């Protein structure tokens, strides 16, 4: 090959390499804008970040988003309170008819504005829509309730109007899978229940909240609605139990329950049903356990208040029913779902209610004998449920029971022997079913053995 041909070949190779290098540089610039930023970083004047694909100024986009989201909320809050204050002013200086017309005209205006802005500013439009539903429910509520000058005198008509408005909002929430409208509907169901202040209307509203909150949380894929529903449903029941101080203007325990407690029993069952919902990303194990605990704590507060106020002398049947339902439901959850901790919680709650019922039947100190035997029954449930959690909780309760017995009761040989035998049998069962319960140490077993030894010494001494 001649020297001239070699020079030509090398020139062509160089041209190809330069062309390839320029193409790679262009691709890198298009794919990753950060390389462009890094290149200009040390310049004296740093230009605003730009998108090389469509030449859109990213700085302006960011400012636009901040303006649309932040200023939209501020503007809508100002508009909301502005409309409310203006409506109140018109109520004070005009006739009821003019006031009502203006109120609903303002609501219609907000909805129309939301419709107009929907394509260009979707987020701002959604906030206007939220405000519209908020004002619609608020103005309808104040036609008769929470108002010194009643615009609609007939209570039945006012309740019907409220139901129509909230029913419409529930329809919109379900149809559009709207989280904001769902929130408004649940919130105003609770507020309406408190405003109506009639036991067998107020408390059924709380039951509707419970059912809707579960359905809407599934429909909108927003678990916060479930927790809002738990809060609102039990809040309405607590307000009822405190004689509705918002309406009656006096904080006190109700004089007669009028069988209103039936509703919060049903509410507890409704919220318990979430443990039977198939495990999903929305209804994950931590979410279900949290909801079950919140439901249980809220129910227990009301149950304790109810027993302390109305059933202090005849609570055995009531707690017996709660115990039976809890144990049965725990078994159902254990058999039908993957929520092992949840089923254990229901079982433990049932046994706690059973313990209190035993006390109501036999009193101290004879009830300690049955409580010791019950501890053995709890261990049996733990083996069936394969629940180390139940075993741990039962061990703690067994030790506390021993401490209370020794500090509050005279020594009874029958009770002492029952505690000794139960501790020995429990220790033997734990050793026998160690693998089934996935217990890796002998710590719990040793607790029972030490307890048995101490109780044996006490029995011999006495």
Q: Tens digits of per-residue pLDDT, 123-144?
A: 888 888 999 999 999 999 988 8
pLDDT above 90 covers what percent of the chain?
A: 42
pLDDT of residue 121: 77
- What would the 3-class secondary structure string for 313-364 be? CCCHHHHHHHHHHHHHHHHHHHHHCCCHHHHHHHHHHHHHHHHHHHHHHHCC
Do the domain assignments include residue 24?
Answer: yes
Phi, psi of 57 (to 5 degrees): -75, 110
d(CA 295, CA 302): 11
Looking at the DSSP bridge assignments, the partners of residue 57 are 50
Do the domain assignments include residue 140?
Answer: no
Residue 28 banded pLDDT, cuts 50, 70, 90: low
Do the domain assignments include residue 10?
Answer: yes
Mean confidence (pLDDT) of the chain: 84
pLDDT of residue 174: 95
Q: Which residue has the higher pLDDT, 265 or 341?
A: 265
Do the domain assignments include residue 5?
Answer: yes
pLDDT of residue 36: 46
Query: Would you tell me how many other CB atoms lie within 10 Å of the CB of residue 342?
Result: 24
Which tens digit of pLDDT belongs to each residue from 145-160?
Answer: 887 777 788 889 999 9
From 329, 379, 375, 333, select the one nearest 352 (Cα to Cα).
Answer: 375
From 178, 89, 75, 191, select the one nearest 141 (Cα to Cα).
Answer: 191
Q: Helix, strand, or coil here: 278? A: coil
Structural domain harbouring 5: 1-36
DSSP string, 61-88: HHHHHHIIIIIHHHHHHHHHHHHHHHHH
Do the domain assignments include residue 32?
Answer: yes
Do the domain assignments include residue 80?
Answer: no
Residue 87 banded pLDDT, cuts 50, 70, 90: confident
Do the domain assignments include residue 101?
Answer: no
- Please report where in the chains the tokens 């700085």 appear, as a residue: 59
Do the domain assignments include residue 52?
Answer: no
Looking at the DSSP bridge assignments, the partners of residue 50 are 57
Count up the domains in the chain and report the number.
Answer: 1
pLDDT of residue 291: 94
Which tens digit of pLDDT belongs to each residue from 266-320?
Answer: 999 999 999 998 877 788 888 999 999 999 999 999 999 999 999 988 899 999 9
Q: Helix, strand, or coil here: 146? A: coil
Which tens digit of pLDDT belongs to each residue from 103-122?
Answer: 999 999 999 998 998 887 78
């Amino acid at each position: 090959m001649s020297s001239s041909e070699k020079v030509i070949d090398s020139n062509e190779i160089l041209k190809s390499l330069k062309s390839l290098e320029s193409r790679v540089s262009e691709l890198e610039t298009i794919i990753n804008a950060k390389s462009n930023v890094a290149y200009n970083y040390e310049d004296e004047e740093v230009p605003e970040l730009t998108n090389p694909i469509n030449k859109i100024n990213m700085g302006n986009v960011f400012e636009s988003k901040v303006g649309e989201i932040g200023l939209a909320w501020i503007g809508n809050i100002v508009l909301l309170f502005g409309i409310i204050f203006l409506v109140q002013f018109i109520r004070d200086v005009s006739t009821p008819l003019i006031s009502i017309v203006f109120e609903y005209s303002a609501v219609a205006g907000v909805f129309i504005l939301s419709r107009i802005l929907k394509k260009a500013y979707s987020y701002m439009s959604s906030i206007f829509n939220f405000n519209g539903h908020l004002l619609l429910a608020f103005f309808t509520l104040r036609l008769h309730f929470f108002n010194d000058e009643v615009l609609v005198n007939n209570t039945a008509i006012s309740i019907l109007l409220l139901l129509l408005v909230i029913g419409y909002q529930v329809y919109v929430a379900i149809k559009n899978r709207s989280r904001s409208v769902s929130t408004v509907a649940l919130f105003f169901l609770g507020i309406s229940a408190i405003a109506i202040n009639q036991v067998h209307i107020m408390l059924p509203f709380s039951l509707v909240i419970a059912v809707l909150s579960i359905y809407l949380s599934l429909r909108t894929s927003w678990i916060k609605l479930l927790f809002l529903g738990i809060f609102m449903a039990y809040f309405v029941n607590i307000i009822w139990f405190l004689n509705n101080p918002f309406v009656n203007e006096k904080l006190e325990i109700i004089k007669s329950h009028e069988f209103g407690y039936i509703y919060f029993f049903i509410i507890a069952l409704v919220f318990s049903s979430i443990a039977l919902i198939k495990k999903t990303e929305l209804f994950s194990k931590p979410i279900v356990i949290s909801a079950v605990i919140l439901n249980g704590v809220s129910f227990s507060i009301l149950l304790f208040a109810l027993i302390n106020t109305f059933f202090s002398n005849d609570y055995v049947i009531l707690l017996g029913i709660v115990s039976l339902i809890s144990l049965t439901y725990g078994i159902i959850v254990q058999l039908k779902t993957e929520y092992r901790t949840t089923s254990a919680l229901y079982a433990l709650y049932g046994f706690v209610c059973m313990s209190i019922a035993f006390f109501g039947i036999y009193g101290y100190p004879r009830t300690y004998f049955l409580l010791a035997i019950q501890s053995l029954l709890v261990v049996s449930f733990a083996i069936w449920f394969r629940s180390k959690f139940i075993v741990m909780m039962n061990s703690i309760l067994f030790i506390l029971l021993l401490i209370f017995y020794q500090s509050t009761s005279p020594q009874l040989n029958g009770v002492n022997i029952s505690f000794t035998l139960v501790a020995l049998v429990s220790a033997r069962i734990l050793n026998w079913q160690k693998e089934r319960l996935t217990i890796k140490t002998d710590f719990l077993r040793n607790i029972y053995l030490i307890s048995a030894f101490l109780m044996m010494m006490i029995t011999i001494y006495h």
